[in-house]
Homo-oligomer: A and B are copies of this chain.
């Protein structure tokens, strides 16, 4: 194990940028896809520049703009979305600690989507040239990134199934389950309660529902004792039962 910044590593001087970004979660994720070396860890540390915190609700890149930098979430929640001509929008997915943000915009000349912070966020960023360099010169890293892209695609595909073929209540429960499990995989969840920093307009845009109808779905889930809601926050009250209720099949996440 070659964690570039994990707690197990001895304290080391900041190698690049204002301070060494904590790329531990990212590196752990990528290590699950390919056997990375210390050199790979070092290359990641060098290529990614730590950024100071971004405030909540900040749009980092709009559709049609040119992506100058790609990001990794060090801490906080972000999300990406597409807007329609009439102003409505579809949230594509949420990014948590260790997830990439805007890498597709970096690859394409013009971004096909937008992304923004949801909560206060700490992000590390990378320039296109450095990104290309990592892929071209580090075969194991390139392999891990392709695996990571596959995992990301699997999340989006399941989201599509959710929106296309499930009722509002199950759809809502399913999304909450996925986010809860992703937090659990990060070691942020221990018991049967999970707090998610989600407002209802946001979740409605993710699920392809109106805010009004989502609110009624949430009320039913609350009356069933599965969740609690309020003040810009949705809280899973009984994770086990919510997973059962949603008939959640986590096979698309477990690789």
Any B CB within 8 A of the CB of A164: yes
- A150 contacts chain B at the CB level, 8 A cutoff: yes
Residues of B within 8 A of A90 (CB): 160-161, 164-165
Q: Is A192 an interface residue (CB 8 A)?
A: no
Select A135's contact among B139, B252, B255, beta carbons within 8 Å. B139
Tell me whether B108 and A150 are in contact (CB under 8 A). yes
What is the chain B residue whose CB lies nearest that of A156?
B156
A251 within 8 A of B: yes
Between A90, A153, A163, A208, the greatest number of chain B beta carbons within 10 A of the residue's beta carbon is seen for: A153
Contact residue among B132, B146, B164, B247 (Cβ-Cβ distance under 8 Å from A163): B164
User: What is the chain B residue whose CB lies nearest that of A105?
Assistant: B150
Across the interface, A108 reaches (CB within 8 A) one of B64, B88, B255, namely B255
Q: Are A146 and B135 in contact (CB under 8 A)?
A: yes
Cβ-defined contact, B163 with A107, below 8 A? no
Q: Which residues of chain A from 19 to 77 have any CB-CB distance to chain B below 8 Å in the complex?
A: 64
Interface stretch, picked from A109-117, A181-189, A212-220, A223-231, is: A109-117
Q: Mark A121-162, 1 if CB is under 8 A from B, else 0.
A: 000000000001001110110110111011111101111110
Contact yes or no, A146 B157, CB < 8 A:
no
Chain A interfacial positions (CB closer than 8 Å to B): 64, 82, 84-85, 88-90, 92, 103-104, 107-110, 112-113, 132, 135-137, 139-140, 142-143, 145-147, 149-154, 156-161, 163-166, 207-208, 247, 251-252, 255
Q: Which 10 A-B pairs have the closest CB atoms?
A: A164-B208, A112-B252, A142-B142, A136-B139, A90-B161, A149-B149, A90-B164, A108-B255, A163-B164, A107-B150
